[in-house]
Structure 1
Amino acid sequence: MFDISVATFEGIVPFIVVGFAAQMVDGALGMAFGIINSTLLVGVLGLPPALASASVHAVETFTTAASGLSHIYHRNVNWKLFRRLVIPGMIGGALGAFVLSNINASVAKPFVMAYLASIGLYLLYRAWRGKVEPREPKIIEPLGLVGGFLDAAGGGGWGPVVTSNLLVQGASPRTTIGTVNTSEFFLTATISGMFIYTMGLAAFTLQTAGLLIGGLIAAPFGGLFAKRVPARLLMAMVGALLTVTSAYTIWTAVSK
């Protein structure tokens, strides 16, 4: 559990560093902020999954706003795709937060991670082939609904689920990452509101503040990174990150 009495500079610095690193990865590749922080809070500090997810989403409400503004400034957002993602994502997020606050939804996590690991390997294969020509994705609204639900219920998952599946369908890496990051603000605000309704203000702790400070410092850089890096390299980086994080989550789940 958190020791909220540790109100020292040394006590908060590790969380600032983690928040910074997680947001740099998330802003640049469209995923991993929730996964990195949830793994730390649950696996290292022993926080209950519901409280960890609430803490992460409380932070993400602010970091995704800053990251989204960065992507909008660098013109990385596909507004048509944004409109089709955001409402289903908010609905799925509210449902996932309610489920996690009332029952244990972690049983399905290893199966979801196995699916995402396979998607990561496929994206690596596509990047290796060198064929990343953009195509219009077809399955969007159901993807937003499932991604929002898994994000709230699993403490992270909007980016891995939505970004990876849109890339598999042929969407442009740059605008996919920018659009998913921008729409994530509305998702995290909805999830945080549901957690506050069901749990109160338990998510707001000193450590949460550290994650927030680090995340806000890093957030403006993600849009610039996604704009500058070539599409093939972006896809390879997304695939590698997805494969490694999913494999690690599966290993920790089965080794308990």
Structure 2
Amino acid sequence: MIDFSAISWRDLAPFIAIGFLAQVVDGTVGMGFGVMTNSLLVALGLPGPAASAAVRTAESFTSGISGLSHALQRNVDWSLFGRLVIPGIAGGFIGVWVFTHVGIALMRPVVLVYLAAVGSYLLWRGPRRPQTFRRTRLVGTVGFLGGMLDASGGGGWGPIVTGNLLSQGANPRSVIGTANAAEFFVTVTVLAAFIGTLGLQSVTIAATGLVIGGVVAAPIGAYLVKRLAPRTLIVGVGGALVAIALFGLLALIFAPIPTFPRF
């Protein structure tokens, strides 16, 4: 644990800004908060499990506010929500065990290449294909894999779940809203598992700043999803997936830079 009375706003400010921007992106395209913030914390020298736990701490607050905001904007498909959330929770439990006992070094490049392929397809499809939405398949499997990779990779829920369901032809507004709502329950499950494994050390200065920025930004994404055109949302998700994949692949090349080792 840290002494919160000793935290200065100057220490928090960079992480508040990061949390705000990451949550605006996440709430609008259904992904990005975990990957962006986790990658930054690892790049700044925080160990992988501790960085993932800090992100889960922040997301347990931001995803709850985001999910509530999407529900108030009527962006949530409750039938799809029910098919996602239970498998996602189960996948999250298994993902924590995999990350803390086995590791996922060999899995990450494969997942990143997959995300780049899905993102490229959505970028191609968005402006061309008529917006005729279809019922999604294998939703439970997608939720399970999303939960597992979210725990073990620090932000796999949105890219896996949102990207896959949109590539199947689902309605962008309901997919993004539902994925955000279900993410809260997966995130809280993963956080509880991490605390049980690592203790309360997951609560850091970085996590505190991410919470503040993310909670402030959460309603903005839900508002934008309700008002943006489906084609715009699909292209936005595709672009986010490609950017996340490229960023992740570059992060695998370079060693962490311990700019702020005290975190």
TM-score range, shorter chain: over 0.9
Shift of residue 7 of structure 1?
2.1
SS in 1 for 2:200: coil
* Amino acid across the alignment from 2:155: G
Q: Distance in 2 between matches of 1:8 and 1:69?
A: 30
Q: Percent identity, aligned pairs only?
A: 46
Question: What stretches of structure 1 of length at least 5 have no aligned partner?
Answer: none
Aligned ranges for residues 189-204 of structure 1 at < 5 Å? 189-204=188-203
Q: 1:149-171, CA deviations, whole angstroms, 9 ceiling, x for partnerless residues? A: 00000011100000000001111
- The one-character-per-residue Cα deviations of 1:201-230 (angstroms, maximum 9, x if unpaired) are 011012211100000000111111100000
| C-alpha distance after superposition, 1:93-130 (max 9, x if no partner) | 01101221223223210110000000000000111214
Contact 1:18-1:37 within 8 A present in 2 as well: yes
Please name the residue that 1:42 is paired with: 42
Q: After the TM superposition, which residues 207-218 of structure 1 pair with which residues of structure 2 at under 5 Å, given as runs?
A: 207-218=206-217
TM-score by length of 1: 0.95
1:104 partner letter:
G
Aligned to 2:122: 123
CA contact (8 A) 1:97 1:195 kept: yes
Equivalent pair of 2:88/2:144 in contact (CA under 8 Å): yes
Instruction: Give the 3-state SS of the residue equivalent to 2:202 in structure 1.
Output: coil
Counterparts of 1:142 and 1:247, CA distance in 2: 25
Q: Deviations over 1:184-212 (max 9, x none)?
A: 00000000000011111011012211100
Which amino acid is the alignment partner of residue 17 of structure 1?
Answer: A
CA distance in 2, matches of 1:77, 1:229: 15
Amino acid aligned to 1:31: M
Q: Secondary structure of 2:251's partner? A: helix
Could you tell me which residue of structure 2 aligns to residue 24 of structure 1?
24
Matched, 1:9 2:9: yes
Q: Residues 73-111 of structure 1: CA distance to partner in whole angstroms, max 9, x if unpaired? A: 010000110000000000000110122122322321011
* 1:1-256 equivalent positions in 2, closer than 5 A: 7-43=7-43, 45-254=44-253
Letter in 1 for 2:8: T
What is the CA distance between 1:10 and its match in structure 2? 1.1
TM-score of the superposed pair, with normalisation by structure 2: 0.93
Corresponding pairs, count: 254
Contact residue 39 and residue 251 of structure 2 kept, 8 A: no
RMSD: 1.6
Instruction: Show structure 2 runs of 5+ residues with no match.
Output: 256-263
Q: Please say if residues 158 and 184 of structure 1, whose CA atoms lie closer than 8 Å, have aligned partners that are also in contact.
A: yes
Is the CA contact 1:101–1:199 (under 8 Å) kept in the aligned structure 2? no
DSSP 3-state at the match of 1:113? helix
